[in-house]
Amino acid sequence: MKKYLLYFLIFLLLPTNGFAYFDPGTGAFIVQAILGFLAAVAATFAMMWTKVKMFFLKIFSKQKFEEQKKNK
């Protein structure tokens, strides 16, 4: 197992040349993908927060209603 870890570290530490070219269209596509992912995460959290908030509002409004019934 230690031998594989050593091989992995050597693989990561030895530099190699990558002959690649990113044109502006590719860069824009990558930026759009990242922004789209962040927007989807933000929308998901916003929807979940609304559901959690409504759940707690229902619980506490029921308790207030029951307390008002007992006091009358």
**Angle at CA 34, nearest 5°, toward 43 and 22?**
165
pLDDT on residue 43: 96
Map residue 10 onto helix, strand or coil.
helix
* DSSP secondary structure letters along 7-23: HHHHHHHS---------
34's tokens:
């990242």
pLDDT on residue 70: 67
Residue 48: pLDDT over 90? yes
pLDDT digit string (tens) for 5-45? 988 888 888 877 877 777 888 888 999 999 999 999 999 99
